[in-house]
Structure 1
Amino acid sequence: MTETLITPLIEQRADPYIYKHTDGYYYFTASVPQYDRIELRRATSIEGLATAPTVDAWTKPDTGPYSELIWAPELHFNMGAWYVYFAAAPSREIKDKLFQHRMYAIRNTNPNPLEGEWEFMGQVDTGIDSFCLDATTFTHKGELYYLWAQKDQAIEGNSNLYIAKMKTPWQIEGRPVLLSKPEFDWEIRGFRVNEGPSVLRRNGRIFISYSASATDENYAMGLLYANEDADLLDPASWTKAREPVFQTCYEHGIYGPGHNSFTYAEDGDTVMLVYHARTYTEIVGDPLWNPDRHTFVKRLRWDEAGMPVFGRPSIA
């Protein structure tokens, strides 16, 4: 069988999120290289997103608690309105350390989120005052859930994965539940990290993909899964794969794939995997400011047991 090599859909957009809405449009957002704003675009096809005009939905203030390093925005339609969830750090004069991110939400009630006004809803408070980021939401059996990465001072490493129900689209309900922490060899290369969770429902299961290790060629993706009828707030409901499901392809030069999202092809059923990766490893200077993490999209396949098969980040 001939292998089809993948090229980037959108260059210099990391932490990509594509959402197919009921209005027939695909919506795209991602971290921009300047980390200074939330950028949105939409198109009637996935391919069309590459050339779609962009709109700056929100721009960071010059100073204050959410005025630096705007990371990993995600656009969701929850309870009749549009929300963008994102992480931001305080300005340097507030705190000395660079990575002091907290999570925030903005809301737009316009049917088209590229129009209308965005309202700042404030911090999404998890009850734990520590570094946190990469929030996503999903609805299951009528309940809205919040899923994110956060630092726990009592657990070695940079971030773990947590889940909680939501009282409103910008407020969680109850105590956060720890689902996963970096523990396997492939999760602790460079940094001990579990981050970037994304949710997919298929074949009677709830799947959570996530990313681990440093954001260089060691970056890779793992998988958690639970029965769709299980208590999602019970850690015992979840099984964690011991090996990565998606990682660097040295043969074709696609490095550090991760921070993914899932969307659907134009047929409405085929699951598409959206992720970022680099095409080289020789990063000059601070990797944080290297702009060349590009957005890729490929088809997700399935095995006979109903489990996702991610394949290689270089092969369609």
Structure 2
Amino acid sequence: MKQSSTARGFSAATGKVPAPGLVLGGVCGIQFGAAFAPRVYPQAGAAGVVFLRLLIAGVLLCLLWRPQRQALSSVKGARGTVIAAGALVAGHHLAFYEAVDHIPLGAVATIEFLGPFAIALAGSRRAIDLLPAGMAAGGIMLLGGGGVPLDPLGLLLAATAACCWGGYILVSARMARRLSGGQGLALAVVWAAVLTAPYGIAQGGTALLDPGVLGVAALVAVASSVLPYSLNLEALRRMPPRVFGVLTSLEPAAGAVFGLVILGQQLAWAQWLGIAAVALASVAATFLGAGQRKASRVRAKGKAARQEHAVLPTESR
């Protein structure tokens, strides 16, 4: 795929930044945008901000990655994968931003993180894998009963965001294999904007055209979509997924910090401990998963070696 000059310049600029710095920049961008968006909720509503964010982000990503229309028709399954990814992005964003309107951002980010956490544990068949699961369960219990009451509707919305984000991770993996660069991401975000348009326009109305609302939405689109998605794409080219997983485990803590600093959302000490427990559980799951994959590769090599050894005498005869 032919990249735009902007994409080439972005790759050159990020090439001078250490890969962990790219991931941490993406983590901070996502949570900063989520904390900044509620400034215009009274005028445009959460759905209105989500629609504008996705629309602006989709346009910017298309300019950055120059998606080719023929790619959807020439690659088998590409169209369906992009449609599914966009639908999951739309569901995630609507649920996440509505949840932030009901419960603290740190709590939302922690519960949302259970989506990728569940994927990290999926398929585990070892007793030791129950350790991070138990840590995460304990963290959620501390978060829910740690002192600051959490609205049940906000908890339900955050759980919905977790399910959508976990599904998006699975779908986006297929999308990345079928469409080169970030063109699949750009098309998925555009489709997500189309899906959220009815809700956003109905909730925001003419306020969506207000310069102040548009300015906040543009900032959120760049900080929470264009920048982190692009930074993560560059980081994953230069670092193992295990390390990437460890660094993204900081998202719940980053959400709690930005929620406190920007929105003034207070949490009790037990709830901070719960957030830390979920983050540590994710780190543990990442390392245990890496060890399990390494052991599987060793067993596979051993099996291949035994089969080769068994065949050699027959071939010599």
Relative to the length of structure 2, the TM-score reads: 0.26
Q: Point out which structure has higher relative CO (alpha carbons under 8 A, 6+ apart).
A: 2
Per residue, is there more strand in 1 or in 2?
A: 1
